[in-house]
Amino acid sequence: MNKKQKKVLKRIIISIILLVVIAILTSESLAFSFLSDNRWVRLVLYLVPYMVIGYDILRKAIKGIKNRQVFDENFLMAVATVGAMALGEYREGVAVMLFYQIGELFQSYAVGKSRRNISELMDIRPDYANLVVEDGTSQVDPDEVEIGSIIEVAPGEKVPIDGIVVEGTASVNTSALTGESVPRTVNIGDEIISGCINMTGVLRIKTTKEFGESTVSKILDLVENASSKKSRSENFISRFAHFYTPAVCYGALILAVLPPVVRLIMGLPADFGDWIYRALTFLVISCPCALVISIPLTFFAGIGGASRAGVLVKGSNYLEALAGVKHIVFDKTGTLTKGIFEVTGIHHSTRENDELLDIAAHAESYSNHPIAKSIQAAHGKDIDKSRVSDVEEISGKGITAKVDGRKVAIGNAKLMELYSVDYKECHHVGTILHIAIDDEYAGHIVISDVLKDNSKSAISKLKKIGVEHTVMLTGDIKSVADYVAGELGISEVKSELLPGDKVLRVEEILQSKPSKEKLAFVGDGINDAPVLSRADVGIAMGALGSDAAIEAADIVLMDDDPLKIAKAIGIAKKCMRIVYENIYFAIGIKLVCLLLGALGVANMWLAIFADVGVMVIAVLNAIRALMVKNL
């Protein structure tokens, strides 16, 4: 409990004690019974606990009236309780305030607790780093470790900062980041990201980032800030409250005035007190606490549950959109395929194959594209970056660079056309990398990629959960694209696209579909940032360690398993289901109670219990959104 909550708790306890004391003092059987005979004495007595428990609500209500934002919960509570006191229902007046405050305390406690729980459940925040110093290691705050320092991570410890392994091998558990429990092995020279847990050997790591820039900090930031992006359902609640509160206030007013007047006209006694009491009960019942609290809490729990499964959601609006996804557009390379190309042939080379590969690997040495990484792997030898200069990556086409002072262009047919180089077609199936050296054609390298193990089941699972329209957009050549799409059962495929063409195609789909059906784009975050941001929901996968992707996407899948897409949608759907359950449940109970109150069946006690009860149930229901294991 924080300070503010403790203070409210203290006020609650004091006012309960005061209420008990007053009840004893005014009880008939005691000598002080004269106290209970005098209305004014009792009013003064009850005003003490009333002010103790309710002064802040009254203050906020008055402030609201001054700011011309009259109708809010504070106003409802103030009118209802002041009215009850004026009618001589002192005990009810104090009780309503008391239970309202207990309810508020419970919700702020529940929200705070689930926030903390989520960070704890993620359990990735490192508390310290073991900095390697001259005579061993010293334990320091991860914030203090500079880039390029060497840190040591013993078995059982969390990796606090991103870096490269310089000593030792170990198997590391990434489950807190990815939701996957299969351990990964890291060796000297491998990148390692913060948040993993070292399970076996001692590792020494040279840090490549500061703590604040490391994966673990980024993820925590993201989860903690997610609640600031409001979903439509949340906005609905504030819009709802906007007309709802005035409506119930006027309703209460009518209830207090109209029936007595009608009775007077009919020649009956007016019973003003009775009807005003009913009107006040009506006000207490109408307080929309359960809705106001449970909906943001559900989203919060949903986002927390998703992050435990390795799905980072940047705002509840994206969770809501994800639940309504009916169209999914995929990038190919690195998303549906592994993005690990193997060289399957080198043709028309004007020099030794090895030399061509060496030049290609150098030209690609600054690129992060899967093709570039694969060429370097196929080359297999050390890269001397001093031989390379003037690198320019031409998105969707390839790369140009100076290698040993010669101008090298490497990429697809479009790139060759760009430099008017006469290239030779290739008749093998695969991705073709044409190479030109000093604007002369120097041959091509055929590379091919393999499908990810889960791509096929991912697509069929998506179809099963209602995503009918799947599209693959790729910059790769038609033969490869058609083969992949056919193999996976993707319904639409477009190939040889530039990143800009992908945006256009996505826009076409966006325009032709009903706006209720949402479109998601799934990419690996390499050169597809424009599409990621254009889609209703941009999903980046395998994004561990790629800051650009984490930044551009709305939803980040921590590992590169395409099955996670269906899982993410499942989580979103469950969360939305709970949101609607709570909306219907809370509004339904409210309506029943309002009716009972108007008919005079429900009194203020029932009203306050119904309100707190609905809220507790709605909050407990909201917490279910955290549980995402079997989706």
Q: Which residues are catalytic?
A: 331
Comparing CB distances to Mg ion, the nearer of 331 and 554 is 331
Binding mask 541-580 for Mg ion (x = CB under 5 A): ----------------------------------------
Q: Cα separations (Å) of 323 from 142, 206, 303, 520?
A: 38, 41, 13, 11
Comparing CB distances to ligand ADP, the nearer of 48 and 477 is 477
Minimum CB–partner distance for residue 369 and ligand ADP (Å): 4
Of all residues in the shown chain, the one whose CB is closest to ligand ADP is 475
- E-assigned strands of 500-564? 518-523, 537-541, 555-557
Alpha-carbon 342 to chain mean position: 37
DSSP codes joined into one string, 33-56: GHHHH-HHHHHHHHHHHHHHHHHH
Q: Which region, judged by CB under 5 A, interacts with Mg ion, from 83-91, 236-244, 329-337, 571-579?
A: 329-337
Rounded CA-CA distance 49/475 in Å is 72
Minimum CB–partner distance for residue 127 and ligand ADP (Å): 39
Minimum CB–partner distance for residue 431 and Mg ion (Å): 12
Q: Cα separations (Å) of 434 from 364, 452, 494?
A: 13, 26, 21
How many amino acids of this chain bind Mg ion (CB under 5 A)? Answer: 2
Q: What residues make contact with ligand ADP under the rule CB under 6 A?
A: 331-333, 364, 367, 369, 371-372, 396-399, 410-412, 431, 433, 474-476, 499, 527
Q: Is 331 in the site for Mg ion (CB under 5 A)?
A: yes
Comparing CB distances to ligand ADP, the nearer of 198 and 474 is 474
Reduce the secondary structure of 129-175 to three states and give it as a string.
EEEEECCEEEEECHHHCCCCCEEEECCCCECCCCEEEEECCEEEECH
Structure letter (DSSP) for residue 451 = B
Minimum CB–partner distance for residue 394 and ligand ADP (Å): 8
> What is the β-pairing status of strands 537-541 and 555-557?
parallel
Minimum CB–partner distance for residue 390 and ligand ADP (Å): 15
Partner whose binding site includes residue 433, from ligand ADP, Mg ion, none (CB under 5 to 8 Å by kind): ligand ADP
Comparing CB distances to ligand ADP, the nearer of 54 and 339 is 339
Rounded CA-CA distance 226/224 in Å is 6
Other CB atoms closer than 10 Å to residue 533's CB: what's the count?
14
- E-assigned strands of 368-412? 388-394, 398-403, 406-411
135 Cβ partners below 8 Å, 6+ apart? Answer: none
Rounded CA-CA distance 294/620 in Å is 9
CA-derived radius of gyration, the chain: 33
Partner whose binding site includes residue 474, from ligand ADP, Mg ion, none (CB under 5 to 8 Å by kind): ligand ADP
Q: Which region, judged by CB under 5 A, interacts with Mg ion, from 188-196, 201-209, 323-331, 602-610?
A: 323-331
Comparing CB distances to ligand ADP, the nearer of 373 and 513 is 373
Partner whose binding site includes residue 396, from Mg ion, ligand ADP, none (CB under 5 to 8 Å by kind): ligand ADP
Q: Which region, judged by CB under 5 A, interacts with Mg ion, from 127-135, 332-340, 557-565, 591-599?
A: 332-340
Partner whose binding site includes residue 307, from ligand ADP, Mg ion, none (CB under 5 to 8 Å by kind): none
Minimum CB–partner distance for residue 349 and ligand ADP (Å): 16
